[in-house]
Amino acid sequence: AANAAASIEGRGIVKTFGGFTAVDGLTLDIRSGEFVSLIGPSGCGKSTFMLMAAGLIPTSGGELLVNGKPLTEPLTDIGIVFQDHLLLEFRTALENVMLQAEIRGLPLVPAKERALELFGKLGISHAADRYPKQLSGGMRQRVSIARALIHNPSVLMMDEPFGALDAITRTQIRHDLEMLWLETAKTVVFITHSIEEAIGLSDRVLVMSPTPGRVVDEIRIELPRPRPAHLGDYPSFNT
């Protein structure tokens, strides 16, 4: 069943590590079903924001709302593609995804069917029984995306998922992701260093300042992109 996509709002979020302020007054608004890119210099707090938004680390100040409610515990309705794909080396691609299904408490037979279906959509069916080190960087990243989607979360967050990949692989994965997004209408937060990728993929690009990070600019993509019918028109920005 398709979940209603989630919204994420930050109101003056602060994050300190000891005496160091990593994020200082981050205010942003990610609407349900939107594909938003976050760009900004290294160290500005992009990954930190992602971990806070997932409820994996606490904020030090400000407000973080998911679906309009303060986030008080780890968000389970989220799939994360970490900056380093973080696959388990001694598990095959399929086992990596199935382990996640088990952790999520999914019934295993349908989960396996879904895993294989995702592998098919991501063009890695032939990799199911291979180990991560037998796979190319692009294939490992696709396994990582399949793992993030196994429980059909309504939010998908990807932290520089294409960083280490060559241009052709990036373009292919980008295309697959676009297809998946169209099918599933998830809220997507895409962290990247590439303004081209950000503009090519998303509805909106949020630009962060150097440390301590906050959103300093916003690029709204004006080109009409295909959009799932059930999401209706593009969000209105008149507010």
Residue 46 vs 140, nearer CB to Mg ion: 46
- Smallest distance, Mg ion to C-beta of residue 236, A: 31
Which residues lie closer than 8 Å to 223 by C-beta, 6 or more apart?
Answer: none
| The dihedral sign for the CA sequence 219, 220, 222, 226 | positive
- DSSP output for 113-146: HHHHHHHHHTT-GGGTTS-GGGS-HHHHHHHHHH
* Smallest gap from residue 11 Cβ to Mg ion (A): 22
141 near 149, Cβ under 8 Å? no
Please report, as residue ranges, which positions from 30 to 69 form the binding site for ligand ADP (by CB under 6 A). Answer: 40, 42-48
Interatomic CA distance for residues 191 and 162, integer angstroms: 10
Separation CA 84–CA 155 (nearest Å): 19
Decide which of Mg ion, ligand ADP, none touches 27; Cβ closer than 5 to 8 Å per partner kind. none
Does the protein bind ligand ADP through residue 211 (CB under 6 A)? yes
Size of the site for ligand ADP (CB under 6 A): 12
- Nearer to ligand ADP by C-beta: 50 or 94? 50
22's contact among ligand ADP, Mg ion, none, with CB below 5 to 8 A by partner kind, is: ligand ADP
Give me the least distance between CB of 24 and ligand ADP, in Å please: 11
Alpha-carbon gap, residue 53 to 155, rounded angstroms: 10
Q: Which is nearer to ligand ADP, 82 or 234 (CB)?
A: 82
Residue 169 binds which entry of ligand ADP, Mg ion, none, with Cβ cut-offs from 5 to 8 Å by kind?
none
Q: What is the DSSP-derived secondary structure letter of residue 231? A: G
User: Site residues (CB under 6 A) for ligand ADP?
Assistant: 17, 20, 22, 40, 42-48, 211
